[in-house]
Amino acid sequence: MNLQNDLFLKACKKENTERTPVWIMRQAGRYLPEYRKVREKYDFLTMCKTPELAAEVTVQPVDIIGVDAAIIFSDILVIPEAMGMKLEMVESKGPKLYEPVRNIDSINNLKKIDPYKDLKYVLDAVSLTKKELNGRVPLIGFSGSPWTLMTYMVEGGGSKNFSEVKKFIYNQPEAAHRLLGMISDAVAEYLSAKLDSGADALQIFDTWGGILSPHDFEEFSLRYIKEVISKINRKDQPVIVFAKGVHYSIEKLADSGAEVLGLDWTMNLGEVRKQVGDKVALQGNLDPTVLYAGKDKIFEETVRTLNSYGKGPGHVFNLGHGILPDIDPEKVKFLVAAVKEESKKEFLYKEKRQVRNVRYKS
């Protein structure tokens, strides 16, 4: 299917575009009233596991906000669940995985997944969403990185100090590597199946990469990100790696095999661009909390982000992390419109311009 809007894919491949494409992590979510209406009727995992519902909320931000790419509505923890762990989403507390993996015996109890069987509902959601998008914008599939998935599997959910997973890698390194290898195989097969089902690009979220020291990041995370990327069965579909808080390994991440590096809001796009040269495109990286500000400030920071990257191809505009659930959708529409209009200009303004110059649809 030919895409009517392929700006996102072109930017991922560092091809010339008439403007900077924009999408937003967690763009299908609670900040949208339309999403909340669906969520009132169904719990989160039911939405993930019902292709029609997943497709509906995936398409919402394309219609409402005007983003240049859709990302399939799902959750990274569907992989541990498919491997045999019991998953529950606890309201206001987050995910809980029962009987955390803490030793070789619990690793041996995990199953090897077949994504076409065990995660068929996600693949069906990808296929259905692709049909409903009807070529308007590309569709992104995603997974957590092996390290991030293992962190949840060992901790049993979120954590403040990550003591259990740190104990695990330091006291049982062989078991940790065995588990990471199993997860890597599952992630590679899962992402390959998403491409097979119609996804146009992939993103790997290494949410907890930044809790590791530089040495440990290379041993327990980066190594397996590379392994996953090398095993994905793909043609020319780009892969994005978003590793939060990993300032110290930017150049090594650029050699991971990914076409795009997603950056959190604490990094400077221009400086990273100088570091990595032409190896990869860059995605990001507006601080999500800027969207709490007034439109003047949102506009100013949007232009600052565009200027930070500078001229030339290879920039996908995004937030530096997921959008927060209490953000005003009108401000998100404004942000997207500002990116589209300002990045069209022949040169990027370094002085602050007036908000009234941005035209957007309410």
Q: Which residues are annotated as a binding site for substrate?
A: 26-30, 75, 152, 207, 321
Has 26 been annotated as catalytic?
Answer: yes
Has 121 been annotated as catalytic?
Answer: no
Overall size of the chain counted in residues: 362
Has 35 been annotated as catalytic?
Answer: no
Has 326 been annotated as catalytic?
Answer: no
CA distance 200 to 70: 10
CB atoms near residue 324 (< 10 Å): 15
Torsion angle defined by CA atoms of residues 17, 20, 23 and 24, in that order, rounded to the nearest 10 degrees: 150
| Two tokens, residue 146 | 């092996």
| Two tokens, residue 85 | 């762990």
CA distance 346 to 60: 31
CA distance 143 to 264: 17
User: Which residues pair with residue 201 across a beta bridge?
Assistant: 140
Give the DSSP letter string of 149-177: HHHHHHHSB--SS-HHHHHHHHH-HHHHH
Report residue 318: phi and psi, to 5°: -160, 175
User: Which residues pair with residue 89 across a beta bridge?
Assistant: 95
CA distance 66 to 298: 17
- The H or E element containing residue 201 is strand 201-206
Q: Of 75, 118, 206, 264, which one is the catalytic site residue?
A: 75
Q: Of 31, 35, 152, 190, which one is the catalytic site residue?
A: 152
Q: Of 30, 178, 223, 353, which one is the catalytic site residue?
A: 30
User: Which residues pair with residue 260 across a beta bridge?
Assistant: 240, 281
- The H or E element containing residue 282 is strand 281-283
Which of 272, 321, 249, 238 is closest to 25 using CA atoms?
Answer: 321
Has 273 been annotated as catalytic?
Answer: no
Q: Of 39, 136, 178, 234, which one is the catalytic site residue?
A: 39
Active site residues: 26, 30, 39, 75, 152
